[in-house]
Structure 1
Amino acid sequence: MSKKIVVTGIGASSPLGGTASESWDALLAGESGVRTIEADWVEQYELPVTFAGQARVQPSEVLERPVAKRLDPSSQFALIAAKEAFADAGAPAIPAERLGVDWATGIGGIWSLLDAWDTLREKGPRRVMPLTVPMLMPNAPAAAISMHFEARAFARTVASACASSTESIANAFEHLQLGLADVVIAGGSEAAIHPITLASFSSMQALSRRNDSPETASRPYNTDRDGFVMGEGAAALVLETEEHALARGAKIYAEIAGGGVTADSYHITANDPEGHGAIRAMKLALSQAGAHPEDVTHINAHATSTPVGDINEYTALLGIFGDRAREIPVSATKAATGHLLGGTGALEAMFTVLAVQHRVAPPTINLVEQDPEIPLTVSGDPQPLGDGPQLAISNSFGFGGHNAVVAIRSYDA
């Protein structure tokens, strides 16, 4: 694999902002996108967790109503992010057969599925919407993007839990290397802030229960971290070969230098405490990048704010970087956004692209007392990365033992 793959467009709808730039600016400013859920069903079901990282701008404020009605919220977020990214890339004029979509979701159209179930129980089968299945299927976001842009090279979907959209970016990298497309819209989306998911994650003791202080609930690496915070939204990257981008005069944010995807084969929810699969994924990403661990200048960590998960990732970082793991500037951006599940990897990859471009590691908010067992270089303020070339990795690990890592290099023509 010898083609250089570059990022020419970015888009996002996140708990921090309705666009990529708004999300980035809020992240650098140390804002939190987590807040109390103002919905009747929180009290109705007596949910033990009453907050989440809800999208700052709801799709209904952006999409035309006839379009939104035919899409589950997960697809709505996907289309919004993809449209922004494609416009940001200069809306490249490209034959439909050379434009592809690599998208991801962890759960899919859960609102469409369970709304339809409620309708069936309460009103009978004739009142169930005929578009229920096309709205709930996990590939619906990829299909919506493909149809909107007439992308006919392919429209592929990854569903590997919290590693999903990092894997979709790694796949896009490989698809461009193989010449299957000239331009790929890659990313992921999730809209799963629903009573059933909140109840389920709460039941397994995975969520923070800081109902009295939602904005400080997600606190990776803090000594009293007590679980992750649900988030929703989407992020999209437009990827293309450097040759194609330069030929059309596109601006270039950064280079996707490599990707690594592995499996733990260890436990359905817990990751391997020795970090073997995570280490292999990081090594694969760096190998594709033609780089070595000592070249890495920044890490966007998975860092969900769970008591065990944060330590396990640190163990994996030690396994590849050794003592230098304690010196590399690390960002744990879920502290600000919550955990977007299948959409989180794409959002964090976008943040990493901007980090290497602007030579700054985003802050990790809510870090009051850092766990002495995780002595990483983490800061509540933005950390300068220096003026030279930058190479970062963005990590994602998911239920089922899925590991995905992308390596992102600063671009200097």
Structure 2
Amino acid sequence: MSASPPENSSAVDTSAVSSGSARRPVSSVVITGLGVISPLGNTPDELLEALHAGQSGIAPFKQVPTEAFSTSHGAEATAFTGHINDYGPLEKALQRTIRKGSKVMCREIEMGVASAQLALYDAGFNSEVFDRDRIGVLFGSDYIMSLPEEYTEGIAACIEDGKFNFAKWGQSGLPKVNPLWLLKYLPNMPASHIAIYNDLRGPNNSLTLREASSCAAIAEATSTILRGHADALVVGATGSRIHPLRTLHASLQETLAADREPCSEMSRPFDATRDGSVLGEGAASMLCESREHALARGATILGEVLGYGTSAVGESGGPRPIQIAIANALRATLRSAQNAGLGDVPIGHIHAHGLSDVDVDRDEAAAICEVFGDSSSQPPVTTAKGHFGNLGAGSGMVEIIASLKSLGANLFPIRNLQSLADDCPINAVTESGVSAGDSFISVNVTPQGQAAAVWIRREG
């Protein structure tokens, strides 16, 4: 029931890495397939072209009512409809299975599963090449909220004299709620669906670390493969900040950018006039493999994971916990690469979190200076959030794919960065023509101080 591989993919003798044979030591973890669902398109090439063209994914909301919120614009993945064609080329049996499963998948989960299927197809996944007992899933997500309409009939059945009668809920309200509603919103369901649809029987794990989920998922997947617990893992993350309740939570708990005309200028990372973040949605996945497994099956290697690091710092850690957490994650990433004997690779660029929040951007810039020195000694720094804002847990993976696709060519500038803020002294990319280099570090952080970073280089 797997996706058919690209025509140039061929089955090879993988007996050296089959479940019944002795396993060779794993030298490194590489990336062999990519899939993306984003406000700027549903392929890595569409995403990169849009970034270089300076396109914005920010537009008036279509999924949520605008009257109740402090902002009426965000970056929706409008090209993703949930149609089976959004999942890429699939065998008929798998198409039927996913269509049936969509009844218990909310939009966030659908986007995550679609990105994973696209990555598997891109990597040439098929049962002749992969030992299904040795390939698994590691997926990140936000906390996923139910849609209010899931409870509409149940609540209506308990209304008496204009008030909700709690005593009636068990007998009259709950029976009107779909008994499978919870399956549509559990954050472990992306990993579950991906594994079930493709019969992936290896390690399976889910991380719910908001914006830090993507880098943390790659870190955990790399560690799992290096330990020899799997030959390959589908690694991804999905998130949405565009939801009747989630959008309301964000507007109450975070500083969102004020509506502007044009709305494409609302997200302004590191700019002196930045005034808050912009809400978005998206998902992305990659296939990570041991280098030995990838070479044995003749895969095209797109990149190699050099290092990774995470850190969680709360208010008790100091007056600037975000700065401390990001600096810790960056140092840990450099250290892990050095420990693996890979620390001498030049860093081509940094893909910053770049939230466009006044305080978070200031603290991130301070962390970059703390680790890499002043702007004259830093690698070039870019971020894609000026184009589509904060995609939640999906942001990091979409950004990583954008940076990976840029290696060996030029970087996309930071959109809407017209005047670098005095409190953000970074080596910001503001014009086209800056080389992306052959490796990059990507970093993301949550409002609670959970940071994660990865260091990836291109092959060849």
Which consecutive unaligned segments of at least 5 residues does structure 2 have? 1-24, 88-97, 158-172
Maintained 8 Å contact 1:107/1:192: no
The Cα shift of 1:327 comes to: 4.1
**Structure 2 CA distance, aligned partners of 1:81 and 1:39?**
20
**Structure 2 CA distance, aligned partners of 1:366 and 1:141?**
34
Corresponding position of 2:130: 94
Corresponding position of 1:299: 350
Corresponding position of 1:240: 289
**Structure 1 CA distance, aligned partners of 2:270 and 2:375?**
18
Maintained 8 Å contact 1:18/1:57: yes
Corresponding position of 1:38: 62
Give the SS at the match of 1:384: coil
Give the SS at the match of 1:179: coil
Which consecutive unaligned segments of at least 5 residues does structure 1 have? none
Maintained 8 Å contact 1:286/1:293: no
**Structure 2 CA distance, aligned partners of 1:367 and 1:28?**
14
Maintained 8 Å contact 1:59/1:77: no
Classify 1:396/1:41 alpha carbon distance in 2 versus 1 (closer, same or farther; 3 Å). Answer: same
Maintained 8 Å contact 2:64/2:244: no
Maintained 8 Å contact 1:6/1:255: yes
Q: 2:390 aligns with which of 339, 359, 366?
A: 339
Classify 1:59/1:156 alpha carbon distance in 2 versus 1 (closer, same or farther; 3 Å). Answer: farther
Q: How does 1:264-303 map to 2 (within 5 A)?
A: 264-266=313-315, 272=321, 275-290=323-338, 291-292=342-343, 295-303=346-354
**Structure 2 CA distance, aligned partners of 1:271 and 1:349?**
26
The Cα shift of 1:251 comes to: 0.7
Q: How does 1:372-387 map to 2 (within 5 A)?
A: 372-385=422-435
**Structure 2 CA distance, aligned partners of 1:251 and 1:204?**
44
The Cα shift of 1:211 comes to: 4.6
Corresponding position of 2:93: none
Give the SS at the match of 1:42: coil
TM-score (norm 2): 0.82
Deviations 1:221-280 (A, max 9, x none): 111111111111100011101111111111111111111011112279x9615x222222
Corresponding position of 1:28: 52
**Structure 2 CA distance, aligned partners of 1:32 and 1:271?**
31
Deviations 1:370-401 (A, max 9, x none): 21332323234434327xx6231000111322
Corresponding position of 1:320: 371
Corresponding position of 1:136: 185
Matched, 1:409 2:431: no
Instruction: Say how many residue pairs are matched.
Output: 403
- Counterpart amino acid of residue 254 in structure 1: G
**Structure 1 CA distance, aligned partners of 2:199 and 2:354?**
37
Corresponding position of 1:83: 117
Q: 1:104 aligns with which of 92, 115, 140?
A: 140
Maintained 8 Å contact 1:59/1:73: no
Give the SS at the match of 1:289: helix
Corresponding position of 2:10: none
Maintained 8 Å contact 2:440/2:457: yes
**Structure 2 CA distance, aligned partners of 1:344 and 1:39?**
19
Classify 1:122/1:172 alpha carbon distance in 2 versus 1 (closer, same or farther; 3 Å). Answer: same
Corresponding position of 1:390: 438
Classify 1:169/1:128 alpha carbon distance in 2 versus 1 (closer, same or farther; 3 Å). Answer: same
Matched, 1:168 2:222: no
**Structure 1 CA distance, aligned partners of 2:26 and 2:230?**
15
Give the SS at the match of 1:17: coil
Maintained 8 Å contact 1:10/1:238: yes
**Structure 1 CA distance, aligned partners of 2:232 and 2:64?**
43
Classify 1:196/1:250 alpha carbon distance in 2 versus 1 (closer, same or farther; 3 Å). Answer: same
TM-score (norm 1): 0.91
Corresponding position of 1:186: 235
The Cα shift of 1:178 comes to: 0.7
**Structure 2 CA distance, aligned partners of 1:42 and 1:136?**
23
Cα root mean square deviation, aligned = 2.2
Classify 1:258/1:118 alpha carbon distance in 2 versus 1 (closer, same or farther; 3 Å). Answer: farther
Classify 1:246/1:88 alpha carbon distance in 2 versus 1 (closer, same or farther; 3 Å). Answer: same
- Give the percent of matched residue pairs that are identical in Structure 1 and Structure 2: 28
Give the SS at the match of 1:378: coil
Greater alpha carbon shift after TM alignment, 392-401 vs 34-43: 34-43
Maintained 8 Å contact 2:308/2:452: yes
**Structure 1 CA distance, aligned partners of 2:61 and 2:69?**
11
